[in-house]
Structure formats: structure tokens, C-alpha cells
Amino acid sequence: MKLAILLFFTLYSVNALASNVFDELPASINSNARYVFYSHGFIVEGDNPTPQHPTWGTYDFPAILETLSELDAIIIAEHRAKNTDPFEHAKKLQHQVEHLIDKGVPATNISLVGFSRGGFITAIASSYIANNNINYLILAACTSSLATQSDVILQGNIFSIYETSDTVGSCEKVVQRSGDKVTSFEEISISTGLEHGAFYRPIKAWVEPLNNWLEQKSEKVAYSIPRSELVELQEPISKRIYPLYIKLPRSYRSNKSQRYPVIYLTDAPYTFPIVSGATRFPMNSGTMEEAIIVGISYSKGSKGVSSRVRDFTPSKANDWKLKTGGAKAHLRFIRKTLIPFVESNYRAAPEHRTYVGNSLGGLFGAYVLFTAPETFSGYVLGSPSVWFNDNELLAMNVQKPKNETKVYLSVGSLETPKFGEQQNMVRGARLLAEKINAVDSSHLILNFKTIEGASHAIAFPTTAIHGLDWIHANTNPH
């Protein structure tokens, strides 16, 4: 297996149509997620995702998928081949749904949405699947092909939306012939005057009630960060497995030719949600470069404190009960396994990597800066544990970077014994700043800040956003 990688995609796929939109069921299933299948109309079958109808205009399949991608769900939307047999495709949907259920996804968290021919396929799938708890949304399909197929019996929770100016109308008769197989039935009509074309584009009239109905029918699931996924990598020598939290930029799907900077975070369970949330607005508004965010978590099977103490410390400290001194091995894992994985599976810019670490993670970042500075082009070092092993970091030899390397170093003004800290982090940070400034290199640029009123427990969020803004400020905002 390449680079001894174990991949477990819990939310989204690299090769997806969008960050949470797939054309096939993902290889790995998250039993806590919601799954929505969308089946398009007949006109889209073939190679063109935006075909033109002489009366109803463009069927904007990509725009519909973009809108569905905003749901807190995994979207499965295959672009069917020309003249696909609806019954055969319904069988395919049946097998995919049954696979989800076998993997532990609650039936109430599975929904099939179909428009026109796609609605016909959705209804057939309902008949095949025969599960009363699955949700089916039929858009403008019931009084066409479906009406004449008396052997197609709807089962499950049914929601119908039709347009009053369209020739395709209510699902009431189809539901009546299905009898008690239908668990629940709701129907609304919309009046846009757009006839069948009302569903060609994601307009509020049908999208909003669809979203509301899905929300009502689905079980509540834990909140997940949009456009994010979980991947697990195995360190080849120790065989330890490290979960990675990966978030893709908002424009990742639409800008297929663009390569993005990558922000690498240590202590991912703590740092990933902070950095993801703090950078959302500046990245989306264009004041900060959009970037891929990769959070490196602790090795599986070990406590977080044990993993980070082992991996972030440069040497063995005899007075520590926990294992120390694994920084060299962890750096090798990052350089030889993790970064190559990211840069071969995502559109990452190799020349623009940023490291973010706090406390022991700041110590590890300084160690990387001194021993292998070319690993990253930017470093955000928050409240680094310079004190570790009698300040040995300050005695280390420093390799001069060959390319421009920006270092943002900060510490809270209250990180001293006077304010309850065991170590004088302020003094350590200042000494580290002096050591960096003493490096005879025009390529090394330091920005050192003290965060007024901040203790060790609360300094990092400020460090992270200020440091990333300094390194990734967009000089050409749109």
C-alpha cells in the first residue's frame, strides 16, 4: 500500500464532484452522517451537465449540486449515461442504500431526491428497497411515467413538490395505490410560472421546503465542519496510525486548475476547529489566501498528552515519566509520509506550506525551523516550551533557510510564574526570538508579538489568526 497509508474517508472525498458531493457511494461510510441521493431529469442524461431546453432554458445540474452541497449531508449524484434504463438504475440505488444500512447508517438518515425521470427512478427505488423509514422526495414526476406503472409501489416517507403551471402534477393517486406501504405523505405545490423548468435550477421555491422536510425527517447528527474529512496515515517504522483532519477551501471544486497553500496544525483536536472557524471569514472574503487545512492528531491508542510529549520533544529527558525525544522520528513522518500524501492527493502548492504549533507544538515547530527549515515556508509558533530539558533548544545549531521563511512567534503577557504558570514562557519566547534574529540570513523574517492579558490557556487563538493573517494575507483581494 503506497506509503503504508490507511485511508478512512468519513466525510468527503478528494475526487468528489464537490467537497461533499460524490458521483458514487464513498468507499468508507460514516454511520453518523446523513446521505442524500439526487437523480436528475432525463434531459441531463449524456455528457452535458448543463443542457438547453428550447422552452425551459438551462438545466443547471452543477448549480443544483452546489446548492445541495450546503446540506449537512453527503450527496450522491451520478451523472447518468444517455438512455439509462430507469429500472436498472433504481436497482443500483437500491444496492447503495442497502450498503449504507448494512454499515450502520439509520434509515431515517437516508433520503432519495429525484426530478422528472429522476423522480421516476426514485419511486422505483422506493419500491425495490421496501424500507418504511427511508425518505423520498419526488419532484414533478407522479403524473407522467410513474402514473402508468401500477406495479411501482411507493414505500417510506414521501414528500412531493409539483409546479402548478406544469403538466406534471400531484402524487396523491400514486400514494393512494400504494396503500399502507407509505409511512407518511406530504405534498406542496409551487407557482412560479416556469412550468417543468421550475426544477431546472435551484430556486428557493422548491429548495427551501426540500431542506426543511429533510431536516424534520432526519435524525439529529453531530455537527461536522463543512468541506472536511478524516484520513488516517500509518507511520511506516513505528506502525503508529495518525488521524488527519483535512478541510478543503471553498473554491476547491470550482477552481480545478488552482493549487493551494497548506496549513499544517499540530494538536488537531484542539487547533483544527479553532483555525477552521477563525479563517473562514477572511478566506471566504478574500482578505486571506484560501488554503487547505491539515490537522495532525495524536497517534491512535495513546492518550493525547503521551503522544504529544513523545512526538514534540527533541531529546530524552530523564526526569520525565512520559516518553520523550521523538521529534526526529515525527519530523521524518511529516516529511516522508504526511506531506507527500497531501501533495499527491490534493492540489497543494509544495512551495507554500505553513506550520502551526502551540506550547510543546511550538517547541517542535522551532526544532523543525532549526534543523529542517525548508520543510515549511511559514511557521506560527505559539507560546513555545523553550524551557524543555533546561532550554536545550537555545543551544541547538541552526540551519539557514535557503528560501524566504516567515516566522510568527508570540506569547501571552501573563505566561509567567507571577500569574500562575510553572514556567516563564515570556522569557523563553524572548530568548527564542533573539536566537532567530541572530541567524545571519536575509531569508529568515521574524515577527514577534506579546499578547497583552493572555495566559497560556487562552493565547493560542489570537496567535493562530494573527500569525496566519501575517503569513497568508491576500495581497490581491477580490
State which amino acid sits at residue 151: D
Instruction: Say which residue, 347 or 5, is predicted with more confidence.
Output: 347
Task: Let me know the angle formed at the C-alpha of 407 by 371 and 347, rounded to the nearest 5 degrees.
Answer: 85
Average pLDDT, the chain: 91
- Is the model's pLDDT at 284 over the cut of 50? yes
Report pLDDT digits (tens) over 443-459: 999 999 999 999 999 99
- Is the model's pLDDT at 3 over the cut of 60? no
pTM assigned to the model: 0.64
Report pLDDT digits (tens) over 192-206: 999 999 999 999 999
- Is the model's pLDDT at 470 over the cut of 60? yes
7 — pLDDT class (breaks 50, 70, 90): very low
- Is the model's pLDDT at 145 over the cut of 90? no
Is-contact 221 72, C-beta < 8 A? yes
2 — pLDDT class (breaks 50, 70, 90): very low
What residues does each domain of the chain span? 20-217, 228-472
Predicted local confidence at residue 10, as pLDDT? 31
Report pLDDT digits (tens) over 336-394: 999 999 999 999 999 999 999 999 999 999 999 999 999 999 999 999 999 999 999 99
**DSSP state for residue 322 in the 8-state scheme:** S
Predicted local confidence at residue 220, as pLDDT? 59
Whether the domain at 20-217 and the domain at 228-472 fall into the same CATH topology: yes
Report pLDDT digits (tens) over 205-218: 999 999 999 888 77
- Is the model's pLDDT at 17 over the cut of 50? no
- The 10 Å Cβ neighbour count of residue 51 is 18
Predicted local confidence at residue 33, as pLDDT? 87
Predicted local confidence at residue 146, as pLDDT? 73
Q: What percent of the chain has pLDDT over 90?
A: 78
What are 311-314's contacts with CB under 8 Å, separation 24+? 311/364, 312/266, 312/357, 312/360, 312/361, 312/363, 312/364, 313/360, 313/363, 313/364, 313/388, 313/389, 314/363, 314/364, 314/367, 314/388, 314/389, 314/392, 314/393, 314/396
Report pLDDT digits (tens) over 79-124: 999 999 999 999 999 999 999 999 889 999 999 999 999 999 999 9
- The 10 Å Cβ neighbour count of residue 131 is 17
CATH H superfamily, domain 228-472: Alpha/Beta hydrolase fold, catalytic domain (3.40.50.1820)
Q: What grid cell was written down for 241?
A: 496510525
19 — pLDDT class (breaks 50, 70, 90): low
**Average pLDDT in the 425-432 region?**
97
Predicted local confidence at residue 219, as pLDDT? 64
Architecture of domain 20-217: 3-Layer(aba) Sandwich (3.40)
Predicted local confidence at residue 254, as pLDDT? 80
